[in-house]
Amino acid sequence: MQNTVRSKFPAYCMAWLLVLLTAPAFATSVGVVGLFRDKAMISIDGSPPKLIAAGQTVQGVKLLSSNSDAATFEIDGKQRTLAMGQSFASPSGGSGKPSVTLSADPSGHFIAPGSVNGSSVMFLLDTGASSVVLPAAEAKRMGIDYKAGQMMGASTANGIIPAWRVTFNSVRVGNISLNQVEGLVVETSMPAVLLGMSFLNRMDMKREGQIMTLTQRY
Coil, strand or helix at 22:
helix
CATH number, residue 146: 2.40.70.10
Say how far apart CA 66 and CA 38 lie, in whole Å.
5
3 within a domain of the structure (yes/no):
no
Region 93-97: what's the mean pLDDT? 59
Say how far apart CA 65 and CA 45 lie, in whole Å.
21
pLDDT at 28: 60
- pLDDT beyond 60 at 21: no
Residues 86, 135 share a domain: no
Of 10-14, 107-111, 129-133, the least confident: 10-14
What does residue 206 show for φ and ψ, rounded to 5 degrees? -130, 120
- pLDDT beyond 60 at 98: yes
Residues 145, 200 share a domain: yes
Q: What range does the domain containing 76 cover?
A: 29-94
Residues 212, 116 share a domain: yes
C-alpha angle 170-171-172 in degrees, rounded to nearest 5 = 120
Of 3-7, 94-98, 166-170, 213-217, the least confident: 3-7
Helical residues (DSSP H) of 23-150, grouped into ranges: 136-142
140 within a domain of the structure (yes/no):
yes
Region 141-157: what's the mean pLDDT? 88
Q: Is 174:112 a contact under the CB 8 Å cutoff?
A: yes
Domain boundary residue, one of 62, 94, 126: 94
100 within a domain of the structure (yes/no):
no
8 within a domain of the structure (yes/no):
no
Residues 127, 211 share a domain: yes
| Neighbour-count burial of 33, counting CB atoms closer than 10 A to its CB (0-12 exposed, 13-18 middle, 19+ buried) | buried
Q: Read off the pLDDT of residues 52-65 as tens digits, 9 standing for 90 and up.
A: 999 999 888 899 99
Region 73-99: what's the mean pLDDT? 74
Q: Would you tell me how many other CB atoms lie within 10 Å of the CB of residue 203?
A: 23
Residues 151, 195 share a domain: yes
CATH number, residue 90: 2.30.30.830
Residues 132, 66 share a domain: no
Residue 46: CA count within 13 A, CB half-sphere: 12
Share of the chain above pLDDT 70, in %: 83
